[in-house]
A = this chain, B = another copy of it.
Amino acid sequence: MEHQSKILDCTIRDGGLVNNWDFSVEFVQDLYNGLSAAGVEYMEIGYKNSARLLNVSEPNPWRFLDDNFLKEIIPEKKFTKLSALVDIGRVDPDDILPREQSVLDMIRVACYIREVDKGLELVKLFHDLGYETSLNIMALSSVPEQQLLKAFDMVKASPVDVVYIVDSFGSLDPADIEHQVKKFREMVPNKQLGIHTHNNMQLAFANTLAAYQSGVTFLDSSVYGMGRAAGNCNTELLVSYIQKPSYELKPVLGVIEKHMIEMRQKWEWGYIIPYMISGVLNEHPRVAMAHRDSADRDKFVEFYDKVTTPEAPLAPASK
């Protein structure tokens, strides 16, 4: 079981939420080559959403992946497969080529629990085009059990390859993960499972290990943990820890040394107190991210008071 597991590196896709995908072509190429040399099975090279549907006019190649551009950047595929993430209502199905004409191998669909039906429609479409597919149900820690059970029925009947347990808020612990994995395995025994964690409480790696040891096969991670807010499980930890002869730590260290130290000085992610607090409270990190962008960024007590005072609206637009 354990040897069937695969690492899916999200540095570009989830890390892009930190720096608005301000990644150089050189970095993305170095990352691809490094992950291939390290034996990492998948690299998520960005979002394949539609700039038109999002009303964005400025170019953003890793947010709005284009097959021709990808072919220029990665003229020759190496060991690592490529994946892209799409969001419901933001992807234009007409943008997706059949797999044999694309550099991409896998398309992952992110959705909230209420949109699982729409998500699976997209999955079906991408599956029929020849892609490996996954459904990533976000904000799992806030999903009522009953809604999840309904979703499982649809998932079980769909052609999706992998169903992800996504701890969007970084609020779960290893025992929670084991509980979720057990439930998912019982309810969708015909699907592979995946895990995507966030490091708000410094549990991203431990939670990923708990999932791995419970038989989850797709393990999401990012090099040096780069991902939104508290970031993700670190790719270098998975490559070090998982006993697979094909994994090599050194190429990942090379990427960190050449790029990530400097990037971390420029952009912020990781274990940071307001993100810890939002994890503990099982809240979306957006309020904490806004706080870190303000002049009060290091006022932790004030932030804590703000988010724990019941009458104060946290994020009026989205709660």
Contacts and interface: CB of A to CB of B under 8 A. Distances in A.
Contacts of A305: 250
A240 B202 CA distance: 13
Contacts of A250: 301, 304-305
A140 interface: no
A173 to B, nearest CB: 6
A234 B300 contact: no
A244 B175 CA distance: 19
B256 A273 contact: yes
B273 A236 contact: yes
B256 A300 contact: yes
B298 A234 contact: no
A257 B203 contact: no
Interface stretch (A92-100, A128-136, A151-159, A205-213): A205-213
A203 B261 CA distance: 21
A149 interface: no
Interface residues of A, number: 36
Contacts of A204: 202
Interface in A270-319: 271, 273, 276-277, 280, 298-301, 304-305
A148 interface: no
A228 B236 CA distance: 22
A174 interface: yes
A173 B257 contact: no
A136 B301 CA distance: 34
A249 B308 CA distance: 11
B273 A201 contact: no
29 contacts: A173-B209, A173-B241, A174-B174, A174-B206, A174-B209, A174-B210, A175-B213, A199-B202, A201-B205, A201-B237, A201-B240, A201-B241, A202-B202, A202-B204, A202-B234, A202-B237, A205-B206, A206-B206, A236-B273, A237-B276, A240-B276, A240-B280, A249-B277, A249-B280, A250-B304, A254-B301, A256-B273, A257-B299, A257-B301
